[in-house]
Homo-oligomer: A and B are copies of this chain.
Amino acid sequence: MQDTIARIRRFRDDRDWKQFHDPKNLAVSISIEAAELLELFQWKTGEEAGRYAAENKERVAEEIADVAIYLIELADITGIDVEEAIRSKLEKNAKKYPVERSRGISTKYTDLK
């Protein structure tokens, strides 16, 4: 992971792009790239999307990478450790979605009984 972060930094700094990469612009870019990823599955059913992903792994990998690059960069400039943030969020989510009440149910926690 440290090596990945270093590569992302180097790519940005070689081009002197840090001046554009404030948290807001990075969040904007994450949303734009997320939509490009979503576009791969536009109009498809869940099943068709699964088939498409299996047959177009490289295309999906590229769009995932685009989101991930800006996400890692945003975490990096704000001093956030992504893997630690994930662990901590999963623990929080575990309280919001207790296993016994959320098993097999996709309901949002605010509507859980």
Contacts and interface: CB of A to CB of B under 8 A. Distances in A.
Contacts of A20: 43, 106
Interface in A16-75: 16-17, 19-20, 22-25, 27-32, 34-47, 49-50, 52-54, 57, 60-62, 64-69, 71-72, 74-75
13 contacts: A8-B86, A15-B97, A15-B103, A22-B47, A23-B41, A23-B49, A24-B46, A61-B85, A62-B89, A65-B85, A66-B89, A67-B71, A69-B89
The 10 closest A-B pairs by CB, nearest first: A35-B35, A65-B89, A22-B46, A24-B49, A43-B106, A24-B41, A61-B85, A65-B85, A34-B34, A27-B38
